[in-house]
Amino acid sequence: MPATTPNPNKVDPKQNGNSGPLYVKCDLTPEQKASLKEWANDIENLDVIAWIDHVTDNGDVLSVKHIVGQDGYQASLTGMELSTTHKGKCLISRASTAWRAVVSLMYKDTCVLQGIWNVVDRMADLDL
């Protein structure tokens, strides 16, 4: 049966001014994409697993999903409430397989951004 009185502990986060995580812009250049391919061939699976263990220990959430309507996958790393380094920020990467999406995300985090996630105003990117 639906509640007739709103529960203050279940308030819509958007009403509190929280509209979700801020997205980190990290579009790879052609040179970085070539470097990613080489780097991905050299990286050991255990290194990727160790990175996953590290980022999740720091309070980030790793998510991997199939992109509906496309032949690919998306991996995202989101700094949640307990995140020690990326609270309120989200980094995304896409690839042809789930594993490649995670490896690409790791590359962006460790090699391109070197753990420092700067967010930009996405509205500034739009042509108005």
16 pLDDT exceeds 50?
no
pLDDT at position 85 is 79
Percent with pLDDT over 70 in the chain: 78
55 CB burial (10 A radius; 0-12, 13-18, 19+):
buried
pLDDT at position 15 is 44
Greater model confidence, 121 or 41: 41
pLDDT digits (tens, 9 = 90+) for 91-113: 999 999 999 999 999 999 999 98
Given strand 89-95, what is the order of strands in its sheet? 22-23, 89-95, 73-79, 60-66
pTM: 0.76
pLDDT digits (tens, 9 = 90+) for 31-85: 999 999 999 999 999 999 999 999 998 889 999 999 988 889 999 999 888 777 7
pLDDT digits (tens, 9 = 90+) for 27-37: 899 999 999 99
Asked whether the beta carbons of 59 and 80 are under 8 A apart, the reply is: yes
